[in-house]
Amino acid sequence: MFDRRLFLRGASVLMGSAALGQVMTAFAATPRKASFFSESEMRVLRTLVDVILPATDSPAASSADTHFFIDLAIPACAGPRARETFHAGLKALSGYDGLAPEKQVAKLRARAEKDMALPYEESFFRILKDYTMTGYFLSEIGATQALAYERIPGGFQGDLELKPNQKAWAI
């Protein structure tokens, strides 16, 4: 009744479709156009996500197309008030991408300090941070290079030594 080969084959059928999904996504990814924000807003957004999560020992947020994730996710997932706040905040930062790097950091720092006190729906920075983090750390680059990820860990080991410089699990 329970045929091990059958169920392993079942798993491999699903694995096959998952792998195919990745290929399709990669194929569809270039060249990429924004669907919600304007080209100039996208340049600001691209700069912002890289100021938040720059290239370190792993690629920057924009290398994982985090700004495109936000372009898709804000209209689809954010509530009407948060969407409005975010769009207005982005517009208010027009020209941000042209600033010197240290000015970009200072300007975002000031914005963060002011915005952290606001309710989420009215806080441009909190919304930006939320979507930047989700977009990057759950992308393939973020999960597998900035963090560690195993689709099928193969079991659970509860108490292991943390190796020097070991990355945290993505999920």
Partner 1 sequence: MAASNTFDAIVVGSGMTGGWAAKELTEKGLKTLVLERGRNVRHITDYTTALKDPWELPYNNRPANADRKAQPIQSTLYLYDQSTKQFLVDDTKYPYDQAQPFNWYRGYQVGGRSLLWARHVFRYSDLDFEANLKEGVGIDWPIRYADVAPWYEYVEKFIGASGENPGLPQLPKQVLQPPFEMTALEKHIKREFEKEFTDRMLICSSIAVLSREHNGRGPCQGRNQCARGCPYSAYFSSNGVTLPAAAATGNLTLQPDAIVHSLIYDENRQRVTGVRVIDANTFTSTEYFAKVVFLCASSLNSTSILLNTRSARFPNGLGNDSGELGHNLMDHHNGGGATATYSGLLDRYYKGRRSTSMYIPRFRNVSKREEKFVRGYGYEVYSGRGSWTRGIDTADFGADFKKEITRPGEWSIYIEGYGETLPYRDNRIWLSEDKLDRWGMPHLNISMTYRDNERAMAQQMMDDAAEMLTAAKLENVNGFNHPIVPGSVIHEMGTARMGRDPKTSVLNAHNQIHAVPNVFVTDGSFMVSSPTQNPSLTYMAMTARAAEYAVGKLKAGEL
The residues that touch partner 1, with contacts defined as CB under 8 A, are 1-4, 7, 10-11, 13-15, 18, 21-22, 25, 51-54, 56-58, 69, 72-73, 76-79, 105, 108-109, 112-113, 116, 125-126, 129-130, 133-135, 137-140, 143, 146-147, 149-162, 165-171
Alpha-carbon gap, residue 73 to 13, rounded angstroms = 30
User: What is the closest distance, in whole angstroms, from the C-beta atom of residue 3 to partner 1 in the complex?
Assistant: 6
Tell me whether residue 88 or residue 116 sits nearer to partner 1 (CB atom).
Answer: 116
Looking at the Cβ atoms of 40 and 166, the one nearer to partner 1 is: 166
Helix/strand/coil for 166: coil
Query: Is the CB of residue 142 less than 8 Å from the CB of residue 49?
Result: no
Task: Quote the least distance from Cβ 94 to partner 1, whole Å.
Answer: 20
Rounded to a whole number of angstroms, the minimum distance from the CB of residue 50 to partner 1 is 10
Q: CA angle 18-24-25, nearest 5°?
A: 90
Q: Torsion angle, CA of 54/56/59/64, rounded to 10 degrees? A: -40
Measure the CA–CA gap between 104 and 41, rounded to whole angstroms: 15
Residue 45 or 108 with smaller CB distance to partner 1: 108
